[in-house]
Structure 1
Amino acid sequence: MFHKVLISSMLILTTGCAASISTNNSDKLSKNVLGTYLNYDGFGNNTHIVLNDDGSYQSSLEGKIGIYGFSSGSWSENESVISFLPNEESGVLRSSLKQMVILNKKNGVSLVPTQKIEQHNQLMADFGKSTYSFTRSSI
């Protein structure tokens, strides 16, 4: 284990860029979560996340007066949690995509930010709807 960490650290230091280490392998990505996800925040803003089978993603936040932010990069899945490694970000999506828990329900797959899972569960219990949920709209 120590040797793997040491070799990875040396590779990062010699290349000068952590992005050169591939953190996503399309063979390992869960085909169950591929597709386009939509979150409506209740205030007229829609966030779209597209998870592609090559391990890339694109995300945009759109509101009543246009696009407020954009993010793209790579994604990975580990133990039902999606992580994002952005290559490009702008606007309000700069550093805003956090890890998301994959929820498999009867009506399909949805994603919820890990730090919002308790609030999501409470909203679902109280109202049957959550503003924290990203619902898959297409595959």
Structure 2
Amino acid sequence: MLFAFLTGCATDATVRTHVSELSGTYYSGDGLGRLVYITLRPDGTFASDWQGCLGVYGEATGSWQLQGDQIIFNPAAERDALAGYLRRATTIRHDGRIGFARTQDVAHDKIRQDLVFFKQDGGAY
């Protein structure tokens, strides 16, 4: 199991979940101008944008699939800051919340909280 350091909090573990539970809108940000939104739709498509204090820095759309505790992204269109950004993510549960982090950001059982995508309450776009 992956136990990760999240600015003083430990991630419970990687989790295997279902598409229906994972579908929704997620966000990740550093509070200093980087906010990335990803909407995972139940039909297997996704849309993402990277926002900052100067506007939208990048966008991506495509398809996604769940394989065990991994989300596999297959972008159909990417631009700017999101070009090459979404390929694979590991699903996690932290403080009872479902989330995920890009697999390359989970290296060596450590992850920074600003790199975790947390599910938003409410609807998706």
Band the TM-score falls in, shorter-chain normalisation? 0.7 to 0.9
Relative contact order, CA 8 A, sep 6+: which one is greater?
2
C-alpha displacement at 1:115, in angstroms? 1.3
Counterparts of 1:85 and 1:96, CA distance in 2: 11
Question: Pick from 109, 114, 120: which aligns with 1:131?
Answer: 114
Question: Pick from 74, 77, 84: which aligns with 2:73?
Answer: 84
Instruction: Give the structure with the higher percent strand.
Output: 2
Instruction: Give the structure with the higher percent helix.
Output: 1
Residue 50 (structure 1) aligned with residue 42 (structure 2): no
Question: Pick from 13, 28, 37: which aligns with 1:39?
Answer: 28
Equivalence for 2:14? none
Q: Give the structure-1-normalised TM-score.
A: 0.69
CA RMSD in angstroms, aligned pairs only: 1.8
- 1:58-69 alignment runs, 5 A limit: 58-69=47-58
Larger CA Rg, structure 1 vs 2: 1
Unaligned runs of 5+ in 1: 1-28, 124-129
C-alpha displacement at 1:120, in angstroms? 6.8
C-alpha displacement at 1:104, in angstroms? 2.2
Q: Is the 8 A contact 1:120 1:132 kept in 2?
A: no
C-alpha displacement at 1:110, in angstroms? 0.7
Percent identical across equivalent pairs? 26
The aligned length equals: 105
Counterparts of 2:111 and 2:117, CA distance in 1: 16
Q: Give the structure-2-normalised TM-score.
A: 0.76
Q: Deviations over 1:32-74 (max 9, x none)?
A: 1110000012421100000000000000000001000000000
